[in-house]
Structure 1
Amino acid sequence: MIKIRLSRLGKRNKPFYRIVAIDESKKREGEPREVLGFWNPVKKEFKINQEKLEDWLKKGAVLNQSVKNLLGK
């Protein structure tokens, strides 16, 4: 199953997250199928490619709870 979830990057105390479509069994920083956007909680930046997101949801991908919260769903 494909999940859309956050993958952590950045340094200690300076987190930066990518929003990725990845297999459920992969590690958090595993190889994603596609990068859909990013979230920077330090600078309060958030960007996601809606077309890619909708495409993955049509293919049966499931949103992680943290991504749902970011999207406001």
Structure 2
Amino acid sequence: MLKLRLKRCGRKKQPSYRLVVMVAHSRRDGRPIDQVGYYNSITKQSYFDVIKITKWLEQGVKPTLTVRNLLKKANILKN
């Protein structure tokens, strides 16, 4: 099963996250299948590749709860 989730990167105490498609059972910082955006939790900057995200969601990829909330704020998900 594939998930749309956050992968942590950045320095110590300065986290930033990449929005990636990964196998649900792989570790957090494992190898992603596709990178579809990023989110900086400190500056609240974000970039989402809407075309890739909608393509993956149509194929049945499940977003995690945090990713779902981010996509709702960006008006990508309507629910």
Cα distance between partner residues in 1 of 2:23 and 2:29? 11
**1:23-70: per-residue Cα shift (whole Å, max 9, x none)?**
001100010000000000112101100100011011110010010111
Kindly indicate which of the two structures has a greater share of residues assigned to strand.
Answer: 1
TM-score, normalised via structure 1 length: 0.95
CA distance in 2 between partners of 1:54 and 1:3 (Å): 13
Which residue in the other structure is 2:7 paired with? 7
Structure 1 residues without counterparts, runs of 5 or longer: none
Tell me which residue corresponds to 2:20: 20
- Which residue matches 2:33? 33
Letter in 2 for 1:41: S
Q: Relative contact order (C-alpha < 8 Å, sep 6+): which is higher?
A: 1
The structure 1 segments of at least 4 consecutive aligned residues displaced by more than 2 Å after TM superposition are none
Q: Using the alignment, how far apart are the partners of 1:59 and 1:45 within structure 2?
A: 27
2:27 partner SS? coil
Unaligned runs of 5+ in 2: 73-78
Instruction: Give the number of aligned pairs.
Output: 73
Amino acid at match of 2:26: K
C-alpha displacement of 1:71: 1.4
Q: CA RMSD in A?
A: 0.9
